[in-house]
Chain A
Amino acid sequence: MKGAARRALRGAGRSSEGAVFQVAAILLAFTVGALVLYVSGYNPASAYVAMLGGAFGDVYGVGQTLTQATPIVFTSIAFLVSSKAGLFNIGAEGQFLVGAFASALAGIYLAGLPWALHIPLALLVGAAAGGAWGLIAAVLKTRFDAHEVITTMMLTYVADYLTGYLSNYPFKAPGWVSQTVKIGASAELPRILPPTQLSAGILVALALVASTAYLLRKTILGFELRAIGLNPSAAESAGININRGVMAAMLLSGAIAGLGGACEILGVHRRFIEGFSPGYGWDGLAVALVGGLNPVGSLLAAILFGALRSGGMIMTRSTKVPLDIVIILQGLVIVFVAAPTFMKSLLRRGRR
């Protein structure tokens, strides 16, 4: 009897997937995080208050929150798209970096173009570079059956070192800092909420969310990718070309991450600085999971994580709590989201 009940619950849980257990995972993560803070001698309440206050307390805070959220929207949607096709692209960070650097080059060297042309071109270059980086892993998978978890991870390290090298040697700007020169003014994505760093990149991100929802629900490609992700054998029998699908998914995924890198460079930093990304790729993974692998969910979760980051920086300044607590919270969320049945059993126990 017990087994049957459990199975029924599992079935019910699937249809009411909703935000319930993701929200529970977040709350649980915050609880454990509070415990960690407490044990290390910090006051969890004041830490969290400082974090949330810093994130949403005023216009500046909201602006910075959205600024931090923007790149995460891109990386999370990148992970989402590939996961729909059954792929684990954990290398969004590398694709992000590659796209960022490529767009910086486009911003610097394609000078003399009107901004209406320069910006889209630079964005395109960034997306293309990220897509190509993702395609490498796709080729390795389809030709050599190499698992994309390892290859994308390795390629992230390579991307990190490669862009590090490029910004330190051939393309280095004069001075001490490992960075390129500034991009041309015609390539700058305008700031839309001064004095915050929020740029038009967020508009691109919103457009991306809408396009992704459309892609997955309404297009042939979305249909085929989802089929591949859910049942590759059946998809193959239905005439879908699995290899092409895998390549398309990784190309798209990498391009989206690369586009995110481009927006970050063109909108916020205006040059490529070594180490400018505090791990947006990893944030993206957590956000995609918390968002329930759903474009709108990713947007909301990205804002949450953006709040964690921007609020976190303010929290660190005022309470001296190490910023890394933010990463700990993320890690906890991922672990809790990994086990839906655990969450469900907790909820059930809580209800009694």
Chain B
Amino acid sequence: MVELLDVINVGILAAAIRMATPIVYAALGGMFSERVGVVNIGMEGIMLTSALGGVIVSYYTGNPWLGVVAAVAIGGLMGLVHAVVTVRYAGNQIVSGTGLNVLAMGFTAYMSQILWGSRGASESVASIEDITIPILSDVPVIGPIVGTHSPLVYLMPVVTAICYVVLFRTPLGLHIRAVGEHPTAAETAGIDVVRIKYMGVIVSGMLSGLGGAFLSLSHLNLFARGMTGGRGFIALAALIFGKWMPFGVLEAGLLFGFADALQMRLQSLGILPPQIILMIPYVLTVAVLAGVVGRAKPPSDYKPYQRE
């Protein structure tokens, strides 16, 4: 008989933190993008492409950290494409994001085939080792949960805090919020609206890239087709659930990370058919979107900004 403790235990909580990481990174990216007024639903595709890019670089250099840098750079590049389409050419934001997703699906499978021959996965590559924080890991109960993780996991709350400080304690943050809420007011205040929008979207790409890097270079050590598994979209839900605030997003990400970890644990316990369990994160996302009662008002107006 499966006991509750077999399911909810230290291992799963640690896994929850792990699985939250890519979602939180992507969601923070989505936050910056939406706060400058651009919807970025292409985060899924960006994460996927960055995951591949990171693996490729790690494969050829043997250094996973270079892979992470590459992933972030690729993410930024894809963000730039989205920015050019939606800001410079006032293109439809959702269509552009969807295009990026489809492009990523095709491109990653294509490259994967060319480089490694199989349509499924790449070879193993050098990946990032987990580190153990000495004193923290000895604390009872908490220790095993937070004591040993990938550096990218520990980076997650740091990045969140940085996002908070930037957004609410620096002039740049004020500018970002102004551009998203009232671009004309920002313009008349002398803010370069176009530059800020570009920046926000590129940063969202970079953060998504970081999330992708975590998946392929830390959580696993290879690239597998479609390995993001909809996390880019779950990140959007986390963003809404977290009310577009950095720490809210962190909490929401942990919730979804827990669902992800739960799904994996249940699968390994074999008590339910795998497909039913695999559904859990997605059903949860839908439930969360339904449960966000009242109108969670996004921070910006999504119209393209036109200068006469």
The residue in chain B whose Cβ has the minimal distance to the Cβ of A170 is B273
Q: Which residues of chain B from 71 to 129 have any CB-CB distance to chain A below 8 Å in the complex? A: 81, 85-86, 88-92, 94-96, 98-107, 109-110, 113-114, 119
Q: Evaluate contact between A334 and B95: CB separation under 8 angstroms.
A: yes
Q: Is A325 an interface residue (CB 8 A)?
A: yes
Q: Is A88 an interface residue (CB 8 A)?
A: yes
Q: Evaluate contact between A161 and B279: CB separation under 8 angstroms.
A: yes
Q: Is A143 an interface residue (CB 8 A)?
A: yes
Q: Is A340 an interface residue (CB 8 A)?
A: yes
Q: Evaluate contact between B273 and A325: CB separation under 8 angstroms.
A: no
Chain A residues whose CB sits within 8 angstroms of the CB of B289 once the complex forms: 140, 144, 146-147, 150-151
Chain A residues whose CB sits within 8 angstroms of the CB of B291 once the complex forms: 144
Binds A, one of B1-9, B58-66, B204-212, B230-238: B230-238
Q: Evaluate contact between B99 and A331: CB separation under 8 angstroms.
A: yes
Q: Is A90 an interface residue (CB 8 A)?
A: yes
Q: Evaluate contact between B41 and A149: CB separation under 8 angstroms.
A: yes
The residue in chain B whose Cβ has the minimal distance to the Cβ of A136 is B286
The residue in chain A whose Cβ has the minimal distance to the Cβ of B94 is A88
Q: Evaluate contact between B273 and A169: CB separation under 8 angstroms.
A: yes
Q: Which residues of chain A from 275 to 319 have any CB-CB distance to chain B below 8 Å in the complex? A: 279, 282, 285-286, 289
Query: Nearest chain A CB to B92's CB is how many angstroms away?
Result: 5
Q: Is B295 an interface residue (CB 8 A)?
A: yes
The residue in chain A whose Cβ has the minimal distance to the Cβ of B288 is A146
Query: Nearest chain B CB to A2's CB is how many angstroms away?
Result: 10
Q: Is A15 an interface residue (CB 8 A)?
A: no
The residue in chain B whose Cβ has the minimal distance to the Cβ of A331 is B103
Cα–Cα, bound, A47→B88 (Å): 34
Q: Is B194 an interface residue (CB 8 A)?
A: no
Chain B residues whose CB sits within 8 angstroms of the CB of A341 once the complex forms: 89-91
Q: Which of A88, A164, A328 has the most CB of B within 10 A?
A: A328
Q: Name the contact of A155 in the complex, choosing from B90, B229, B286 (C-beta under 8 A).
A: B286
Query: Nearest chain A CB to B286's CB is how many angstroms away?
Result: 5
Q: Evaluate contact between A145 and B273: CB separation under 8 angstroms.
A: no
Cα–Cα, bound, A193→B278 (Å): 40
The residue in chain B whose Cβ has the minimal distance to the Cβ of A166 is B275
Prevailing SS type, chain B contact patch: helix
Q: Name the contact of A157 in the complex, choosing from B81, B282, B293 (C-beta under 8 A).
A: B282
Query: Nearest chain B CB to A178's CB is how many angstroms away?
Result: 10
Q: Evaluate contact between B96 and A339: CB separation under 8 angstroms.
A: yes
What is the total number of residues of chain A having a CB less than 8 Å from a CB of chain B? 51
Q: Which of B90, B229, B282, B293 has the most CB of A within 10 A?
A: B282
Cα–Cα, bound, A70→B236 (Å): 33
Cα–Cα, bound, A279→B86 (Å): 26
Q: Name the contact of B106 in the complex, choosing from A140, A154, A327, A339 (C-beta under 8 A).
A: A327
Q: Evaluate contact between A158 and B282: CB separation under 8 angstroms.
A: yes
Prevailing SS type, chain A contact patch: helix
Chain B residues whose CB sits within 8 angstroms of the CB of A322 once the complex forms: 109-110, 113-114, 119
Cα–Cα, bound, A309→B63 (Å): 38
Q: Name the contact of B276 in the complex, choosing from A161, A285, A328 (C-beta under 8 A).
A: A161
Chain B residues whose CB sits within 8 angstroms of the CB of A88 once the complex forms: 94
Q: Name the contact of A154 in the complex, choosing from B41, B110, B282 (C-beta under 8 A).
A: B282
The residue in chain B whose Cβ has the minimal distance to the Cβ of A289 is B95
Q: With contacts A145-B295, A169-B273, A339-B85 known, is A332 near B113, CB below 8 A?
A: no
Query: Nearest chain B CB to A165's CB is how many angstroms away?
Result: 4
Query: Nearest chain A CB to B191's CB is how many angstroms away?
Result: 20
Q: With contacts A144-B293, A322-B113 known, is A90 near B98, CB below 8 A?
A: yes
Query: Nearest chain A CB to B46's CB is how many angstroms away?
Result: 13
Q: Is A95 an interface residue (CB 8 A)?
A: no
Q: Is B292 an interface residue (CB 8 A)?
A: yes
Q: Is B218 an interface residue (CB 8 A)?
A: no
Q: Is A324 an interface residue (CB 8 A)?
A: yes
Q: Is B290 an interface residue (CB 8 A)?
A: yes
Q: Evaluate contact between B230 and A154: CB separation under 8 angstroms.
A: yes
Question: Footprint of A on B, CB under 8 Å?
Answer: 41, 81, 85-86, 88-92, 94-96, 98-107, 109-110, 113-114, 119, 229-230, 233-234, 236-237, 240, 273, 275-276, 278-279, 282-283, 285-286, 289-293, 295-296, 307-308
Question: Footprint of B on A, CB under 8 Å?
Answer: 3, 36, 40, 88, 90, 140, 143-147, 149-151, 153-155, 157-158, 161-162, 164-165, 168-169, 279, 282, 285-286, 289, 322, 324-342, 345
A–B complex contacts, Cβ < 8 Å, 24 sampled: A36-B107, A88-B94, A90-B98, A147-B240, A154-B237, A155-B286, A157-B279, A157-B282, A158-B282, A158-B286, A161-B276, A161-B279, A165-B276, A168-B273, A279-B105, A286-B102, A324-B107, A325-B106, A327-B107, A329-B106, A331-B100, A331-B102, A334-B96, A334-B99
Knowing that A334-B103, A338-B96 touch, tell me 9 more A-B residue pairs with CB under 8 angstroms.
A150-B237, A150-B285, A154-B282, A161-B282, A165-B273, A285-B98, A330-B106, A334-B95, A334-B98
Among all A-B residue pairs, the 6 with the closest Cβ atoms: A327-B106, A331-B103, A334-B99, A339-B91, A335-B99, A165-B275
